[in-house]
Amino acid sequence: MNVTHLECALCGLEHKAQSLHNLCTKCGKPLLVRYDLARAAKELKKESLTSRRADLWRYREVLPVADDANIVSLGEGWTPLLHAAQLGRRMEMNRLYIKDESLNPTQSFKARGMATAVSMAKELGVRKLAVPSAGNAAGALAAYAARAGMEAFIFMPRDTPRANVVECERTGAHVTLMDGLITDCGAEVGRRKDAEAWFDVSTLKEPYRVEGKKTLGYELAEQLNWELPDVIIYPTGGGTGLIGMWKAFDEMEQMGWIGPQRPRMVTVQASGCAPIVTALAEGKRFADEFPNAHTAASGLRVPRAIGDFLIIDAIKASGGTAVAVSDEELIAAVTEIGAAEGVFCAPEGAACLPALRKLIADGKVQRDERVVLFNTGSGIKYLEAFS
Ligand SMILES: Cc1ncc(COP(=O)(O)O)c(C=O)c1O
Ligand SMILES: [Zn+2]
């Protein structure tokens, strides 16, 4: 195993590897996993990848599990990067791509993070896992916990799409629906976890979900033959995927796989819940809680993100930006992408398209640039949104 330690993303305090952690013991911010990358690079070579398993564990040396026996897998990752030719024609762009995460187990990119988090929980002897979720993370946790033989305790807003609730129940989780938002669900987990002996796997409140999500960055580089795109457009709630990709790019550079160039990272949020867009516009590194959060893109209904500063740092360092789109725009985009490319997107993923239109109109993206839209989940989970 190549993990050396965990490091607080804000104050830098080191925490011991291979023991249970939630947030930094000094400042309460997220911990990130650090590796001996020189050592990892000896085994993990670009050329060696061609013969490896077609899931995220192909990047084994930069993933945290020590013992292979603890890997809990349902075949997550290694999803297609689709050239969107017809949609591109409509946009007058010939280098437009969709990274289609709806092909993951439980039909969303949340499978990546839960695969690594549950594997590490297994390795560290955890029996009971708890999570507040907008829906897709819950479905993923329920499935991986079942696969690992662990118990999952799930807290979701009462108006979470029904598919997410049913899938959790059918995969054996204990489901509690709450009046309120994901932040209220998170507070409930926080209140009860010690008494119930639950390990809290909330977004960025444990260090390993982001490790699974970072493989999005590794895959993108590998699928584009180690030349990163010009622009990444990513629907952002808690921001794990964006933070993870940014981390992956640094790791790959340290291993000598890529140079210093980075894609411009663009956060897309719904206009009914856009804390990162607001913070960026106001020049803040830490976002205020977004009042009266509402959107049909339930995964974007995250009024406060503990990793806000990491999202904002990555956007700024990359020369990117943050864009808000309306629910009308993102729901219409589900049909537009579906009809043009045959990908039935989650509303969150579809939001990337109206965001791209705004970026082009504002001169922030050029039509000849290589742009990747992240479809983070499947529209099949959101039937209520299309009625
Ligand atoms: C389909 C989908 N897209 C995007 C997001 C936002 O993801 P993140 O919290 O990693 O920013 C979520 C979160 O629930 C989601 O379910
Ligand atoms: Zn700290």
Instruction: Please state, rounded to an integer, the average pLDDT across all residues of the chain.
Output: 97
Q: Contact, 24 vs 10, CB < 8 A? A: yes
Nearest ligand 1 atom to the CA of 377 is 1
Residue 351 pLDDT: 98
Cα torsion 129, 134, 136, 139: sign? positive
Report the Cα–Cα distance between both ends of the chain, in Å, rounded.
Answer: 49
Residue 289 pLDDT: 97
* pLDDT grade for 387, boundaries at 50, 70 and 90: confident
Tens digits of residue pLDDT in 73-105: 999 999 999 999 999 999 999 999 999 999 999
Q: Tell me the best of 108, 160, 210, 245 to mutate to test the pocket of ligand 1, counting ligand atoms within 8 Å of each CB and taking the most.
A: 108
Beta bridge mates, 176: 155
Tens digits of residue pLDDT in 184-236: 999 999 999 999 999 999 999 999 999 999 999 999 999 999 999 999 999 99
Which residue in 128, 162, 124, 165 sits closest to 145, CA to CA?
128
Q: Contact, 164 vs 385, CB < 8 A? A: no
The finding on whether 308 has its CB within 6 A of some atom of ligand 1 is no
0.75 exceeded by the pTM? yes
Tens digits of residue pLDDT in 166-181: 999 999 999 999 999 9
Residue 265 pLDDT: 98
The finding on whether 102 has its CB within 6 A of some atom of ligand 1 is no
Q: Inform me whether the pLDDT recorded for 110 exceeds 90.
A: yes
Q: Which amino acid is at 58?
A: R
Residue range 235-264: mean pLDDT, rounded: 97
CA dihedral 205, 100, 141, 296 (to 10 degrees): 80
